[in-house]
Amino acid sequence: MRRRPTSQQRQAQEPREIQPGTITQVTPTQRDPERVSIYIEGTFAFALPAIVALQRGLQRGVELDDAAVHELAAVAEAERAVEAALVFVAYRPRSEREVRDRLRRRKFAPGAIDNAVERLRGWNYLDDRAFAEFWVENRTEHSPRGRRALEAELRAKGVDRNVTGDVLADVDLGEEDAALALARKRQPRLAALDEPTQRRRLAAFLGRRGYGWDVIRPVLDRLYGELGEDGEEDVDVP
């Protein structure tokens, strides 16, 4: 069952024209007492940080012209974009492109997106180098990939090629050992096939994981060097 969008999502996805007029009500929001809801002529207009409302003297009876309404609406949208971005990065580190793409899909204006990204950078919640380091470490530990695959994944996440190169240069991926472990795990599924066919299948499998032939060939030689003629692993006897 699809969930109905929250009020914040509806505000981001369904922008509406806010009419100028007199502020008739300023009340703390239910979710966050540090934010206030501003009502103009009895109709909800936007929610703002309480400190912003205080600094701008927004209170009952204040007249807002068209320019003031548009400026405050932009401030409110920027705050919503920041909140949405914070929720997004709370699950795991994200690249800057991932955050921008997420906010674009939520229909935030370009200025609000730029503001959110800048603020998250300032809080050290966005750092593409740190993200790339996290991504490589996580892949290496949980789902090994070859250097080529990691480079492609990071490029798809929008990480600069130079940053990607620097991060991968600083990490010992242990490609041959990791590829050998994957091949050992995969080989029993192919045991009914002849060795040349097994080698082809394993080479294709490792290639899809981003390993180059310079890694695949010695891995296959090691693997089949460990296996006896009957397909069982050789055991060194002292």
Overall average pLDDT of the 65-84 stretch: 93
In this predicted structure, the answer to whether residue 96 has a pLDDT above a threshold of 90 is: yes
Range of the domain at 156: 134-169
Q: What angle do CA 74, 77, 78 make, to 5 degrees?
A: 85
pLDDT at 175: 80
Task: Give the Å distances, CA to CA, from 153 to 136, 158, 204, 218.
Answer: 10, 9, 19, 25
How far is the C-alpha of 144 from the C-alpha of 27, rounded, in Å?
52
Overall average pLDDT of the 194-199 stretch: 88
Are 182 and 165 part of one and the same domain? no
Please give the model's pTM, rounded to 2 decimal places: 0.71
Are 142 and 71 part of one and the same domain? no
Are 181 and 164 part of one and the same domain? no
Are 15 and 113 part of one and the same domain? yes
Q: Is residue 1 included in any domain, yes or no?
A: no
CATH code of residue 16: 1.10.10.10
Phi first, then psi: give them for residue 52, nearest 5 degrees.
-65, -45
Are 35 and 118 part of one and the same domain? yes
CATH code of residue 186: 1.10.10
Are 47 and 87 part of one and the same domain? yes
Q: Is residue 204 included in any domain, yes or no?
A: yes
pLDDT at 208: 86
Confidence band of 212 (pLDDT split at 50, 70, 90): confident
In this predicted structure, the answer to whether residue 13 has a pLDDT above a threshold of 80 is: no
How far is the C-alpha of 200 from the C-alpha of 206, rounded, in Å?
10
How many domains does one find in the chain? 3
Confidence band of 230 (pLDDT split at 50, 70, 90): very low
Are 25 and 116 part of one and the same domain? yes
Are 182 and 96 part of one and the same domain? no
Q: How far is CA 165 from the centre of its chain?
A: 19
Confidence band of 16 (pLDDT split at 50, 70, 90): low
Are 40 and 115 part of one and the same domain? yes
pLDDT at 17: 79
Are 51 and 80 part of one and the same domain? yes
Instruction: Dump pLDDT digits (tens) for 120-135.
Output: 999 999 999 999 999 9
Choice between 16 and 70, residue whose per-residue pLDDT is larger: 70
pLDDT at 15: 53
Q: Is residue 233 included in any domain, yes or no?
A: no
pLDDT at 169: 85
Are 152 and 195 part of one and the same domain? no
Instruction: Dump pLDDT digits (tens) for 138-172.
Output: 988 888 888 888 999 999 999 999 999 999 888 77
Q: Is residue 236 included in any domain, yes or no?
A: no
Q: Is residue 159 included in any domain, yes or no?
A: yes
